[in-house]
């Protein structure tokens, strides 16, 4: 991260137990993380996203005073990309369902119609 084009020169180190690290890794691979981030985030993206979420929920005024933060922009970009992907997917699915519905209605109409050859024989007799 990020794909915005920032260069990171600062490192943040955390000391954690194996169980906590496993919890972080399982959480970042979860369906909720995939939905929230738009992708399965790497460890750095996940931790930055969690911190951003906490600040946004508990102290949003801090975000307003700090201006544009590259990590925040990247997080919002990931979420927007996910929304676009979901929207496109829903549109494609709707088109496919509509197409199948029309085909099914045509088939049912054809299947319920009388057989022409029998009606022609009855008319000739």
pLDDT digits (tens, 9 = 90+) for 2-50: 455 567 778 888 899 999 999 999 999 999 888 777 778 888 888 888 8
Q: Write down the pLDDT at residue 109.
A: 85
Task: Report the distance separating Cα 80 and Cα 55, nearest Å.
Answer: 19
Average pLDDT estimate for 69-89: 79
Q: Which has more confidence, 118 or 55?
A: 55
Show me where the domains of the chain are located.
Answer: 18-124
Cβ proximity of 38 and 82 under 8 Å: yes
CB atoms within 10 A of CB 28: 20
């Amino acid at each position: 991260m990020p794909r915005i084009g920032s260069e990171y020169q600062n490192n943040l180190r955390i000391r954690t137990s194996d169980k906590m690290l496993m919890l972080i890794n399982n959480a970042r691979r979860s369906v909720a993380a995939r939905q929230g981030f738009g992708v399965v985030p790497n460890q750095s993206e996940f931790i930055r996203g969690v911190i951003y979420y906490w600040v946004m929920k508990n102290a949003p005024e801090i975000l307003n005073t700090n201006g544009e933060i590259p990590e925040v922009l990247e997080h919002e970009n990931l979420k927007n990309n996910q929304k676009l992907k979901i929207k496109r997917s829903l549109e494609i699915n709707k088109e496919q369902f509509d197409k199948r519905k029309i085909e099914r209605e045509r088939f049912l109409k054809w299947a319920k119609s009388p057989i022409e050859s029998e009606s022609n024989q009855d008319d000739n007799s």
